[in-house]
Structure 1
């Protein structure tokens, strides 16, 4: 990790957005660019963020996540205006498939591929609800999209997720939204694998051994770190991040940011990376941005 680049990006965003912007959003967005070895152009960032805001109404849930969404849009190779148009087009597709208006619906829209069937996504979401009726909500829309990228019958895919959910819970992870999202992410790896459960738990234990506090919000990051196989590297990096002054008041962000860095390294080093696994990593990064933005998006996340 290039610590200097991360610090520079934080400073660029701080100057561009002002001190009122939630520091966690600044850290997450700065890390998205630094992980790719990119220095943020503050003027370009503000221009794109203004485009995102002006593309929607004042009360749209997109307004609550426009800052991290700007970073995700700028990470694409196409022109920002094209990506913003695609985002709104996909959002309407999901809304027509009976998905509620929320910040996470926009994250799901960002992850949606052109050839995907919205009815299959809706069917996957409804199957999730059969297992966790009171747990499944709009924050599971991104997971429904990434599972829909997998071939296979809907019931069989969700059963794989349930096996991960139960297996990880038996190993000490708490039941809840974050465990459900982690279990759904792991479906992208194919059939159920006991070894993957073991690796996720080992990742948690390694982070704790390094003196870090692992919370439920970190569960998706545990899955990504375990997938990369860079468990010790990620733990060491998380410790270094937690010691930086930029993380002084937000040490819980260190694990999430570390996962962003090692997953990008994994993508860069894996020429044969499957589309499904790439989608899993992308979903974790995008949803981490949405979760980080939850405080500012809460007022506009439901309708």
Structure 2
């Protein structure tokens, strides 16, 4: 394994452990998603700063708000990695109020608000919030029963794009049609198609590269997850790196992680979830290469997409676990 890759792996684990000391009641996947936010920016968690951001949420947001539900910890992590947490939270809450005019509240809507607040200027918030709903309506028209609250996060990302709305949705729909026969989960394929629609390039080529990477990983004995992990595969396929090199690096990272505490056979993190984080770390390496200057999608946006996909996966898994626990009582 490359030295800088090993450092990223060690930093992910250190960040996870530091986050656990602040959010001790959160599940392993939520803590890992938060750790990924810091690691993607080459930052080590400062527990005091993270604790301050946790308190800031308590001060500024009602206990009944979705900002303090399942998304609380990832939002605190996003704030802690910013230069001005208080201002970013104020901006995020402003965008959230705009989005609430057009969306039912959910654990995913605060994520969309925070991403929009961080990636755009206040003068653009109203327009982007409105566009987020327009894109959601176009999605809903194509898949009325499939499109749900979790898609609002990806709609927010798509609303930041310079691409035409209709063109993006048409691209996403074609990618969905091409890829769906290969996977069982319609929701996961829809999210993957949203990722690919954000990327430039011929849609057949994008789908082909994604499937080629999936098959190469499978052949190497590292079958990628086909549920909430799937969107991050699209980012990897579009990173501009050589697919064989990507597979080799993911395999090395996954093997190393499997030997670490909290990632082994008896941990709460599944093998496919671990592989997703191996992919996210590998993606970070390939996005830092010079090839990304001419790759299909901007490196900053790519990291945000992967970060958001990981947060959505953590929230979905936590929500499912809570529902299962509730039904068994």
Q: Give the Cα separation in 2 of the matches to 1:204 and 1:275.
A: 19
CA contact (8 A) 1:149 1:276 kept: no
Deviations 1:102-161 (A, max 9, x none): 111111111212325222221111110111000001111122122223334422221110
Residue among 246, 251, 255 paired with 1:239: 255
CA distance in structure 2 between the partners assigned to 1:243 and 1:201 by the alignment:
28
* Native 8 Å contact 2:168 2:198 kept in 1: no
In structure 1, the partner of 2:306 is: 284
Counterpart-to-counterpart distance in 2, 1:167 and 1:122: 26
277-286 or 266-275, which deviates more = 266-275
For 1:23-79, what per-residue CA distance to the aligned partner results, in whole angstroms no more than 9, with x for missing partners? 111222223323433221111111112212332111211212111122222233x31
Q: CA deviation at 1:173?
A: 2.3
The worse-fitting range, judged by mean Cα deviation, of 27-36 and 56-65 is 27-36
Residue 81, structure 1, aligned to residue 60, structure 2 = no
Name structure 2 gaps, 5 residues minimum. 324-329
Question: What's the counterpart of residue 227 of structure 1?
Answer: 238
Residue 261 of structure 1: aligned partner: 281
- Match for residue 128 of structure 1 among 139, 142, 166: 139
Runs of 4+, deviation exceeding 4 Å: 273-277, 295-300
Secondary structure in 2 aligned to 1:129? Answer: helix
Matched residue, 2:103: 99
Partner of 2:171: 160
* 2:197 corresponds to which of 160, 174, 187: 187
The alignment of Structure 1 onto Structure 2 pairs a total of residues equal to 296
Would the alpha carbon gap of residues 123 and 202 (structure 1) be closer, same or farther in structure 2, given more than 3 Å must change?
A: same
Which of structures 1 and 2 has the larger relative contact order (alpha carbons within 8 angstroms, sep 6+)? Answer: 1
Q: Is the 8 A contact 1:127 1:158 kept in 2?
A: yes
Q: Structure 2-normalised TM-score?
A: 0.81
Task: Quote the Cα distance in structure 1 between the aligned partners of 2:176 and 2:317.
Answer: 27
